Amino acid sequence: MKKLESLLEKSAELPSLPEIYTRVLQLIESDDTGSREIGEAIQTDPSLTAKILKLINSAYFGLPSEVTSVSQAVSLLGRSQLKQVLLGSILSGVFPKIDSEHFSMQEFWAHSVKTAIIARHLAMQNASILDHEAFFTAGLLHDIGRLIMASAAPDELMLVNEIVNLEGRNVLEVESEALGVTHIDIGAMLMREWNMPSLFSQCLIKHHDEEHIGPFAIETSIVYVANLLSQQEPVYDEDEMEMVLEEIPGWQKTDSSLEQIFIACRLADEQWLDVMLSLGMSAK
């Protein structure tokens, strides 16, 4: 714990969620507010307004006609889905830009967004899961500890990446040796600081685990598999997908078919850049 606290001191401690997020979230969770009031609150932040409208009009949602107002977006999304879109829309602005030749924020967000899209689609195919959009957020958050690590200890993170790439060792073991903590330790602390739901915390904590048991077994396995799939080169048919899955232990725990996983990966390949642009995570 002391090593974690020391690392956080170097990164100016854990980042906080912006006040606009807290204010809108309170309105979303109140039974006394309507879509118009929620939309008006969002519109006080032009950047957030633009991101939400860009995202809802992107291929990610695939709506038949353009949404032109935030109130309309709120009505179409519903409150549960809006909470996930809201968090995704403010996330890139929470962290300072990391200026390092050894760490690319754009690559980081690309991986996170691909993981999010795959996880969401796999959740949509599972009849036992009701809140599909939460998996998009869980995918976005699963590696968030690496951003703080990159900010506070860029040299150590570079060393970790070199060892993992050259020796093929487990990234958590190497991080623990080099820093005394892992990106999971840091991410879990951030989830507590932000008072995030247990689903997000558990998916973050277990996204490197091959075994998934307990009340969130299917959920954590989905993010675990999505994380690994998002690191693969694009596949062009189910035969190639089957070969990829042979290298992912326990993928069956997701209760997803090979076809469903193949479609999820194709959607991620098609949509990730559009989603990144919508969320302000890409410089392109």
CATH number at residue 79: 1.10.3210.10
Are the CB atoms for 109 and 168 separated by under 8 Å?
no
Number of helical (H) and strand (E) elements in the chain, helices listed first: 16, 0
Measured on CA atoms in the order 160, 166, 170, 174, is the torsion positive or negative? negative
CA distance 101 to 114: 22
pLDDT digits (tens, 9 = 90+) for 201-232: 999 999 999 999 988 999 999 999 999 999 99
Domain residues for the domain of 70 are: 2-278
For residue 100, is it within any domain? yes
Q: Write down the residue that tokens 């080099």 correspond to.
A: 178
| pLDDT confidence of residue 63 | 87
For residue 211, is it within any domain? yes
For residue 64, is it within any domain? yes
Provide Rg for the chain, Cα atoms.
Answer: 19
For residue 267, is it within any domain? yes
For residue 284, is it within any domain? no
For residue 244, is it within any domain? yes
Mean pLDDT for 180-199 is 93
| pLDDT confidence of residue 1 | 46
From 203, 159, 198, select the one nearest 184 (Cα to Cα). Answer: 203
Enter the tokens of residue 110.
């690309």
| pLDDT confidence of residue 230 | 97
Domain count, the chain: 1
pLDDT digits (tens, 9 = 90+) for 102-161: 889 999 999 999 999 999 999 999 988 988 989 999 999 999 999 988 888 888 889 999
In the chain, the percentage of residues whose pLDDT exceeds 70 is 94
CA distance 43 to 49: 5
User: Mind giving me the DSSP string for 64-107?
Assistant: SS----HHHHHHHH-HHHHHHHHHHHHHHHHS----BTTB-HHH
CB atoms within 10 A of CB 220: 26
What's the pLDDT band for 90 if we cut at 50, 70, 90?
Answer: very high
pLDDT digits (tens, 9 = 90+) for 25-42: 999 999 899 888 999 999
* CA 72 centroid distance within chain: 25
For residue 265, is it within any domain? yes
| Residue 129: strand, helix, or coil | coil
